């Protein structure tokens, strides 16, 4: 009872984390980008591909060949579980009371393949709940086909549903050809796509509870008169089964192993308030000496320990920081206002990297004219690290600035004095003044000459008298 309660609590917590993260990402003013970090050079990751997501912020913080198409093996069963849980999400209790069986077609393709099973037989009535536990813990391939047959009416129809769902979720490099994950041509995914699929699965009722349960007891049936216990194949969860692979912070979700796929793993880890989802694909199955080694578990522990030791939620930019002086025309008492970020910006950051390595690119609005109100958008701030954009946010006015008519007139006058129109007017004024002066002087000379002539004329007349 205690374990069931803990699993339900974990499921609820994860659903809340994902929901709150999605809401936060959608309503934030800053446009954020996903920036991943590199592991130290002396750290070896054996898996061909890996993808680590911080579930608290929905940021991918580590990637290795995240978009390379690889064989997912039994990680495929996560999508199989999704389609069944979607069918019953509005009546989740019915999973415990709905019993189904599979015809021979659900078993024929599994014979002589070495497929993992939960020993479910043709025609055996098993509840959907037990099938889900057999699917996710024991990795039972017959459980996958029984689910597929009963949900879609045929195995082929279910595969089409799987591919439709992958496309709906935005998976661009995923294609399924069966419900169980055995190697068939044209069956592939990527670490990034598998993370997308798993994050969606965790929003569905019971998925996290089921996939993170270490052990489960299946009901007795007509073929199995005694209840039987099954254990999760992720040995990292079990101190008893895991040995040196045990890692106390790991939960679920699914393992997968094929010669063509190597060792694969999707898992969760929780420590000190941080939550992570990790996908690793195609880890070697043996060491150089031919010994069986679970390199997928080794990689998971290495990556999780690095994340918990080095990554922390960090204030990158505070909403109170003054970032720029923005020139303002016609301001009353001053010709600028201070701009600051519209909000604080925080994210998961590698504490070994100084914040000074983040480049700030500021773009300010041009020709800003008073009045300016506090909070007016005056530009943008782009944060960039290593060629990756962390965030783009608005810069806003920290204070208001009123308009001054006197300042406006002075500014207009000053701008006119320095303008081409002013010099043109000055030139024409000078020419006018010159012409006017020449005209006045000429008129004065003419008047002077005329006066002299009159004087002489009047003088001659007087002498004759």
The span from the CA of 227 to the CA of 4, in Å, is 17
Tell me the β-bridge partners of 281. 49
Q: Which residue has the higher pLDDT, 410 or 315?
A: 315
Q: Is the pLDDT of residue 392 over 50?
A: yes
What residue ranges in 305-344 does DSSP mark as E strands?
Answer: 311-317, 324-329, 336-341
- The residue with greater pLDDT, 414 or 315, is 315
> What pLDDT, on a 0 to 100 scale, did the predictor assign at position 6?
56
Higher pLDDT, 1 or 216: 216
Is 340 marked as a binding-site residue?
A: no
pLDDT tens digit sequence for 91-106: 999 999 999 999 999 9
Q: Other C-beta atoms within 10 Å of 464: how many?
A: 5
3-state class (DSSP) for residue 387: coil
pLDDT band at 26 (very low <50, low <70, confident <90, very high): very low
Token representation of residue 459 = 């003088």
Q: What is the mean pLDDT of residues 225-251?
A: 96
**Least confident window among 79-88, 380-389, 432-441:** 432-441
- pLDDT at residue 458 tops 50: yes
Q: How confident is the model at residue 24 (pLDDT cuts 50, 70, 90)?
A: very low
Give the ranges where 153-236 is alpha helix by DSSP (H).
155-168, 191-201, 207-211
Q: CA geometry: angle at 191 spanning 212 and 61, to 5°?
A: 85
- Provide, rounded to the nearest whole percent, the portion of the chain with pLDDT above 70: 87
Looking at the annotation, which residues are catalytic?
A: 74, 77, 139
Which parts of 48-140 fold into alpha helices (H)? Answer: 77-87, 105-108, 128-136
- Check residues 311 and 428 and name the one with the higher pLDDT: 311
Nearest to 129 by CA among 264, 256, 230: 230
**DSSP 8-class letter at 339:** E
Structure token pair of residue 348: 């998961």
Span 401-413, mean pLDDT?
73
Cβ neighbors of 329 (< 8 A, separation 6 or more) are 335, 367, 368, 369, 370, 408, 411
Q: Is the pLDDT of residue 22 over 60?
A: no
pLDDT band at residue 412 under the 50/70/90 scheme: low
* Residue 10: band (very low, low, confident or very high) from pLDDT cuts 50, 70, 90: low
Per-residue pLDDT, 426: 65
Examine the pLDDT at 61 and tell me if it is beyond 90. Answer: yes
**What distances in angstroms separate CA 94 from CA 91, 97, 243, one per listed residue?**
6, 5, 37
Average pLDDT, the chain: 90
Q: Output the CA torsion 112→117→121→123 (10° steps).
A: -110
Q: Quote the pLDDT of residue 33.
A: 75
Please check the confidence at residue 164 and state whether its pLDDT lies above 80: yes
């Amino acid at each position: 009872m205690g374990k069931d309660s803990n699993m339900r609590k974990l499921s609820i917590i994860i659903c809340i984390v994902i929901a709150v993260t999605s809401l936060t990402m959608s309503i934030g003013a800053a446009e954020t980008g996903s920036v991943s970090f590199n592991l130290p050079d002396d750290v070896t990751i054996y898996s061909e591909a890996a993808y680590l997501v911080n579930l608290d912020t929905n940021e991918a913080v580590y990637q290795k060949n995240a978009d390379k198409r690889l064989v997912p093996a039994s990680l495929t069963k996560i999508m199989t579980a999704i389609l069944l849980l979607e069918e019953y999400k509005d009546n989740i209790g019915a999973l415990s009371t709905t019993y189904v069986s599979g015809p021979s077609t659900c078993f024929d393709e599994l014979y002589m393949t070495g497929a993992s099973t939960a020993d479910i037989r043709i025609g055996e009535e098993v509840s959907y709940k037990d099938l889900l536990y057999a699917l996710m813990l024991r990795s039972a391939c017959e459980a996958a086909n029984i689910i597929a047959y009963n949900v879609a009416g045929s195995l082929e129809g279910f595969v089409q549903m799987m591919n439709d769902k992958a496309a709906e979720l935005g998976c661009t490099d995923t294609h399924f050809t069966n419900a169980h994950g055995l190697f068939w041509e044209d069956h592939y995914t990527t670490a990034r796509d598998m993370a997308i699929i798993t994050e969606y699965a965790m929003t569905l009722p019971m998925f996290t509870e089921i996939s993170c349960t270490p052990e489960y007891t299946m009901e007795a049936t007509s073929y199995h008169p005694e209840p039987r216990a099954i254990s999760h194949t992720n040995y990292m969860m079990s101190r008893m089964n895991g040995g040196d692979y045990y890692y106390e912070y790991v939960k679920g979700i699914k393992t997968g192993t094929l010669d063509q796929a190597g060792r694969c793993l999707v898992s969760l880890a929780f420590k000190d308030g941080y939550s992570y989802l990790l996908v690793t694909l195609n880890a070697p199955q043996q060491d150089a000496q031919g010994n069986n080694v679970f390199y997928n578990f080794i990689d998971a522990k290495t990556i999780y320990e690095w994340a918990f030791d080095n990554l922390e939620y960090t204030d990158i930019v505070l909403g109170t920081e003054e970032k720029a002086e923005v020139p303002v025309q016609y301001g009353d008492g001053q010709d600028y206002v201070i701009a600051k970020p519209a909000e604080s910006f925080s994210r998961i950051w590698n504490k070994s990297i100084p914040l000074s390595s983040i480049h700030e690119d500021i773009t300010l609005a041009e020709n800003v004219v008073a009045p300016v109100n506090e909070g007016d958008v005056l530009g943008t701030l782009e944060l960039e690290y290593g060629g990756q954009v962390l965030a783009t946010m608005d810069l806003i006015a920290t204070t208001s600035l009123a308009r001054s008519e006197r300042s406006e007139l002075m500014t207009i006058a000053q701008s006119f004095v320095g303008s081409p129109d002013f010099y043109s007017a000055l030139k024409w004024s000078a020419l006018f003044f010159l012409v006017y002066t020449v005209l006045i002087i000429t008129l004065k000379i003419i008047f002077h000459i005329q006066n002299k002539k009159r004087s002489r004329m009047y003088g001659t007349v007087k002498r004759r008298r």
